[in-house]
Amino acid sequence: MLIVTSLQGQTEPLPDINSVEITEQVNGEFSLSFVCFNTENNQYAYPLVQEESIVELDGHEFRIKQLREVRDRKEVQAQHTFFDLVDHYQEGTFGGTHTLDEFAQYMLSGTGWTFENVDVTESSFIPNFGEGNVVALVRQICDAFACEVQIMPDKHLRFAKQVGTDKDEQFRYRHNIKTLQKSVDTTKLSTAIKGYGANGLVVEYVSPNAQIYGLRYAEPIKDDRYTTAESLTERLKQELTDVPEVSIELELSQLGFEVGLGDRVWVIYEPMGVDFQTRVMEIKRYPFTKRSPVVTLSNKKRVFTDIFTETKIEIDETKKETRSRIEQTNERITLEVERIDDSIASLQIEADNIKISVQSKVGKDEVISAINLSPESISISASKINLTGAVTFSSLHPSLQESVTNGELAKEKVDLWSYGSTYINGAFIGTGTLVADKIRGGTISGVVINVDTDATVGNNLYLGSPSNYGTQKSIYFNNMANITGGLGFAGADIEINADNLWLDTNVTFGDPSGYHRVTVDFSNANVVGLSVSNADTVDGYHASAFVQKYTDAYVSRVYASTGAFKYDDYNYIKISPNGIEFYVNGVLKQTIR
């Protein structure tokens, strides 16, 4: 029984029907036609039989596409809902080399349809796969994998190298069958073909039927995927149509055995003295009657075609914002991705050259960057080149080699610029922050230079210059203790600021020659433990250089119990635990405590 469902979702059985016919072809039509009547049994279902309503039979759904109503009857033509997928546009591109399963999964995603793969195991290259309706994509898969598809119940597709099975039975034309209709076509008949494979492989195949029909060459096959003569020869045999295309329509009961869609049987065609294998390319069934199905046997090679979808298969390029294209020839492979009226990127691969380019369209001007690789050289063309990470140069061109000495670039050969960050101009580098494990140069200048660990100075460390004397320069220790220079009238004074100052070895004031003598002023300091143990043998502190502390009390003399002496009468003095001792000719004359 047929079940009809309206666009509003109302479902009713449709019992009173007539002339029900289902037509199914290999890689082609799958349709249902019938006549229904406005009877009491159909009183609820008859109004639902309208255009675009769904009619279900044996798990298959058919959508009404043509409807002719005459009085109390409706003549209906419906096609399988698989062809509704012509309105399901699969956006995006999944081109390249993939398996059939990978292509089919991408194609059917979001459609509610499932699939199975019977025996197609290899991978195939489909350029620009996607960006089209699902029916068109099914055709692309069948063409690329040289396979067939069969529509199964419950929204399921079956892919196979060939639909159907091999039958051992055969029949002879006009002997064991009665033909309802026959057609013979020799338009595509050829008996020889050439094939061109990879690495200069050339194969020619001549059919035995050339003895009957003469030597007729078909269009040659060119396919670089074939590398052996055996595999290319098999391909040529498959492509060559060396027998007439014969189509015979007959009732299934006359065969004497059951056949299904796509099954293969042998035919002996005596008018031309040839025998060939035919297939059941079409079956017409008549449900709800005793009429035997009618089958069409044919040896014609069928490809996936559908007259209902031809106007929707092609991609409307004008409505796409981006386009991608893969072009493959014997000489090259070109891949392009284009954003309309904006930019285009391309990759072109040849046997001896690879070219990568990006072109940006800015108004009437064009900006292009490109990399061209050949066995001899690499050419880079761009308005700006950014290199990140370690960069190593070897075997430089002589013109650049002359400017490289011991790993250093001559300043007149370097001129790089990066706005707002770092620039190199000759021997000068300007940057906000320069980070490196090792920096070596004649002069390094900057506002602030931070050294995380140690800094080693080969010879001299200069703070400031003679031109800016009077401006102090400091060295800070943990931002606390410091040594400050550049003080005084000529900027020659140094000040040490520290809680404690330890001097571990000898300290000499003045130069060893004695030409420059210095003054050590302890007037504002507490002196503890200061002694000169060798004052008896070494020229110690001369009294003439001693600033008398008690000038106001003793005027210009120092009085002692042994007599009075002027301070410049003493040869030398020394500091001892007893105080300051004054000596004349090695004899202690006075002690000031």
Is residue 375 scored above 70 in pLDDT? yes
**Residue at 178: amino acid letter:** K
pLDDT tens track for 70-101: 989 999 999 999 999 999 999 888 888 889 99
The domain defined by 88-162 carries CATH number 3.55.50.40: yes
What CA–CA distances, in Å, run from 441 to 23, 407, 408?
A: 88, 12, 10
Low-confidence winner among 215-224, 229-238, 274-283 (lowest mean pLDDT): 274-283
pLDDT tens track for 260-272: 899 888 877 666 5
For residue 552, what pLDDT is reported?
35
The pLDDT mean for the chain works out to 77
- How far is Cα 368 from Cα 365, in angstroms, rounded to an integer? 10
Question: What is the band of 255 on the pLDDT scale with cuts at 50, 70, 90?
Answer: low
pLDDT tens track for 106-158: 999 999 999 999 999 998 888 888 889 999 999 999 989 989 999 999 999 99
Question: What is the band of 560 on the pLDDT scale with cuts at 50, 70, 90?
Answer: very low
Stretch 520-541: mean pLDDT, rounded? 54
Low-confidence winner among 35-49, 448-462, 507-521 (lowest mean pLDDT): 507-521
DSSP E strands, 71-147: 73-80, 89-93, 96-99, 114-117, 123-126, 130-133
Is residue 577 scored above 70 in pLDDT? yes
For residue 35, what pLDDT is reported?
97
Low-confidence winner among 145-149, 298-302, 540-544, 554-558 (lowest mean pLDDT): 554-558
Question: What is the band of 446 on the pLDDT scale with cuts at 50, 70, 90?
Answer: low
For residue 362, what pLDDT is reported?
54
- How far is Cα 39 from Cα 46, in angstroms, rounded to an integer? 8
Question: What is the band of 408 on the pLDDT scale with cuts at 50, 70, 90?
Answer: low
Selected residue with higher pLDDT from 43 and 308: 43
Domain limits, the chain: 2-83, 88-162, 167-298, 317-385, 468-497, 507-593
Packing angle of the helix pair 134-145, 100-108 (nearest 10 deg): 180
Stretch 557-573: mean pLDDT, rounded? 48
Over its C-alpha atoms, the chain yields an Rg (Å, rounded) of: 52
CB 475 within 8 A of CB 483: yes
- How far is Cα 393 from Cα 413, in angstroms, rounded to an integer? 15
pLDDT tens track for 152-198: 999 999 999 999 988 877 766 666 566 667 788 889 999 999 999 98
What is the value of pTM for the model shown?
A: 0.54
DSSP E strands, 220-260: 221-222, 245-251
Stretch 376-401: mean pLDDT, rounded? 71
User: In sequence order, which ranges of 420-465 are alpha helices (DSSP H)?
Assistant: none
For residue 238, what pLDDT is reported?
85
For residue 40, what pLDDT is reported?
95
Highest-pLDDT range among 93-102, 251-260, 537-546: 93-102
Residues 6+ apart with CB under 8 A from 313: 132, 133, 135, 136, 139
Q: How many CB atoms neighbour CB 24 within 10 A?
A: 22
Question: What is the band of 370 on the pLDDT scale with cuts at 50, 70, 90?
Answer: confident
The pair phi, psi for residue 257, each rounded to 5°, is -150, 160
pLDDT tens track for 222-231: 988 788 999 8
For residue 469, what pLDDT is reported?
67
Question: What is the band of 36 on the pLDDT scale with cuts at 50, 70, 90?
Answer: very high
Residues 6+ apart with CB under 8 A from 576: 531
Question: What is the band of 303 on the pLDDT scale with cuts at 50, 70, 90?
Answer: low
The proportion of the chain whose per-residue pLDDT surpasses 70, expressed as a percent, equals: 66
Question: What is the band of 436 on the pLDDT scale with cuts at 50, 70, 90?
Answer: low
